Amino acid sequence: MSERQIELEVLRYDPEKDSAPRFQTYSVPCLNEWVVLDALNYVKENLDTTLSYRWSCHMAVCGSCGMMINGEPKLACKAFIHEYSDKIRVEPLAHFPIERDLVTVIEDFIGKLSSVKPYLIPKDDKPISAGEFKQTPAELIKFKQYTLCINCMLCYAACPQYGLVPEFVGPAAIALAHRYNQDSRDGGRDARQEVVASNEGVWECSFVGACSEVCPKHVDPAGALQQVKVASTIDWYKEHLMPWVKK
């Protein structure tokens, strides 16, 4: 296994001491098979115990280690050292306030996520004794890709619209609302539309498409948002031109 000396340029911010973030460079002996998260763990264990960052699974499942790597939103556990030169710049996810070092404040996203009711709201209340809600493969395929979202927030860091208009509900939350709206077992679309189809909802999206380009799970939030726009536009026409037609 080949070893390579990497200059890891990490954004540091200590809210108790610093008035603004600064960069600190660590020289890290990396194995070529490592990911950036391994390099950060090396720093934490051997060079600087004060470095703060989030991580958990190390296998692109938990969505905790999202950060900007050379200006691109990435999961640090999926960013392989061999894909980079000998100098790597690591910063917290863009568009989120910095809590400390690489740790961001994510309350805004969590609030938006819960505002779209990302859970099944059954169409019909039926007792458990009536059995399961069955679904065909054709019904499943409608929303399956969106279930792969791990809430890593890379799409929010990539979305320039979220950076410019922080009120924007954003890609992942709306894509998850769409996921449940598309679910044959769900009857909660009307309850979600109030947030999803508002000005700060899907209409803030100008289809830059960056969210889908950076998604580490190959979900297509940009596509979901455009589909929500189409459905919401049809709703508007039905309501205003054909009020007698039920949605």
Could you list the beta-strand ranges (E) of 84-148.
Answer: 87-91, 98-100, 103-104
Is 127 among the residues that bind another protein (CB under 8 A)?
no
Q: Which is nearer to another protein, 30 or 94 (CB)?
A: 94
Sign of CA dihedral 97, 79, 161, 180: negative
Is 153 among the residues that bind another protein (CB under 8 A)?
no
Question: Which residues does 230 contact at the CB level (< 8 Å), separation at least 6?
Answer: none
Q: Which is nearer to another protein, 40 or 94 (CB)?
A: 94
Is 75 among the residues that bind another protein (CB under 8 A)?
no
Is 122 among the residues that bind another protein (CB under 8 A)?
no
Of 36-44, 78-86, 99-107, 117-125: span binding another protein (CB under 8 A): 99-107
Is 70 among the residues that bind another protein (CB under 8 A)?
no
Residues 21-50 that bind another protein (CB under 8 A): 21
Cα separations in angstroms, 185 against 14, 69, 143, 146, 228:
47, 40, 12, 16, 18
**Selection from 29, 43, 50, 40 nearest residue 91 by Cα:** 40
Tell me which of 36, 67, 196, 222 binds another protein, using CB under 8 A: 222
Is 215 among the residues that bind another protein (CB under 8 A)?
no
Tell me which of 115, 184, 198, 227 binds another protein, using CB under 8 A: 227
User: CB of residue 222 vs another protein: minimum separation in angstroms?
Assistant: 6
Is 235 among the residues that bind another protein (CB under 8 A)?
no
Could you list the beta-strand ranges (E) of 54-192.
Answer: 66-69, 72-75, 87-91, 98-100, 103-104
Rounded Cα gap, residues 235 and 21, in angstroms: 46
Residues in binding contact with another protein, number by CB under 8 A = 36
User: CB of residue 94 vs another protein: minimum separation in angstroms?
Assistant: 7
DSSP 6-37: EEEEEEE--TTT-SS-EEEEEEEEEETT-BHH
Sign of CA dihedral 76, 78, 79, 80: positive
Amino acid at 122: P
Could you list the beta-strand ranges (E) of the chain.
Answer: 3-12, 22-31, 66-69, 72-75, 87-91, 98-100, 103-104
Is 160 among the residues that bind another protein (CB under 8 A)?
yes
Q: Which is nearer to another protein, 18 or 194 (CB)?
A: 18
Q: Which is nearer to another protein, 9 or 213 (CB)?
A: 213
Interface residues with another protein (CB under 8 A) are 13, 15-16, 18, 20-21, 71, 94-95, 97-100, 105, 107, 137-138, 141-142, 160, 163-164, 206-210, 212-213, 220, 222-223, 226-227, 229-230
